[in-house]
Amino acid sequence: MAAETAFHLSKKKYAMTTTPLRIAVLGIGMMGLPMARRLSEAGHPVRAWNRTRAKAEPLALYGVTVNNTPAEAVQDADIVISLLENGPVVGHVLFDQGAARAMRKGSLFIDMASIQPSEARDHAARLGELGVAHLDAPVSGGTVGAEAGTLAIMVGGRPEDFQRALPVFTPLGRATHVGPHGAGQLAKLANQMIVGITIGAVAEALLFAAKGGADMAKVREAISGGFADSRILQLHGQRMVERDFAPRGRMAVQLKDMRNAMATARETGFDAPITALFEALYADGVEHGLGDLDHSGLFVELASRNAMQ
């Protein structure tokens, strides 16, 4: 009852400042669920679809309509948001399951999944032939940012479409237009390169200190505030100290992003030796059964290499 009251109060608050848009959300997982909830709470009529319907059902409490097919969810929508697993899945849902043809001309598709820039450009071109606009707008900030509405949103596409999307982005976080189609995905890959590499640096440094006899928790505390400090050291470093690897962002997803970065580097002729090293390290971790751990679980792989528990 309290949740329902909060929902109605939230909708009333936003109704005075936001023109409602009919929104469809495709893909209701760890990120999609809180993001769809926030959009509904902002006063937008929201429809949702997920391959496993049960994962979307909790959204009904927040006034979201759950549909059985992506085509049902997107019909009549002003804006369709994708939070699907990867590029091939996005393409399959759009062009094989009928979502693209079910979208009305003049609507806007916002792909907030992390896919390859070349895939984003291909989807934009194919949707354009159907009269549907496209933005690639992947996010950073994890489930914490999705719940709080503090995501960093990196957007590629036409500036006028970016402006159209601002009422959708505002309840979710801070959006920045970074260039044409595919540029949002490039920014996200750059983000994931930094995240993945820095997780590895923090894990290796803390294990190095512990191997020599130092207190790992105290080392983390000692270097906080200096040049080595970072959000990764604070959040993921604490998870390493506590051995808390419950998934917020899974290692298997981090590996997917590193592989997408390497594929894009090859396409553009860019030499990325540091990313290549960490792609291999995450791949070893996934091969060793760590894929469902949080991406800070790279610590476990590095600890095993050094015979440390």
User: Residue ranges of the domains in the chain?
Assistant: 2-179, 187-305
Q: Please report the beta strands in 118-222, taking only residues with DSSP state E, as ranges in sequence order.
A: 133-136, 139-140, 151-157, 173-179
- Determine how β-strand 79-82 pairs with β-strand 133-136: unpaired
For the domain spanning 187-305, the CATH number is 1.10.1040.10
Q: What does each C-alpha distance from 2 to 38, 66, 303 come to in angstroms? A: 17, 22, 45
Residues with catalytic function? 188
What is the per-residue pLDDT across 70-121, written as a single tens digit (0 to 9) for each? 999 999 999 999 999 899 999 999 999 999 999 999 999 999 998 999 999 9
Q: What is the pLDDT of residue 249?
A: 85
pLDDT for 266 beyond 90: yes
Q: What are the helix (H) ranges across 92-182?
A: 99-102, 117-129, 142-148, 159-169
Task: Compute the average pLDDT of residues 7-31.
Answer: 70
The conformation of residue 294, written as its DSSP 8-state character, comes to B
Question: Given a cut of 90, is residue 4 above it in pLDDT?
Answer: no
pTM of this structure: 0.86
Give the separation between CA 221 and CA 228, rounded to whole angstroms: 11
| Region 2-179: CATH code | 3.40.50.720
Q: Averaged over 135-162, what is the pLDDT?
A: 95
Residue whose C-alpha is closest to residue 188's, from 279, 266, 110, 260: 260
Confidence of residue 18 (pLDDT cuts 50, 70, 90): low
Within this chain, domains 2-179 and 187-305 share the same CATH topology: no
Q: What pLDDT does 3 receive?
A: 41
Q: Which of 178, 175, 172, 157 is closest to 108 using CA atoms?
A: 157
How many CB atoms neighbour CB 129 within 10 A? 8
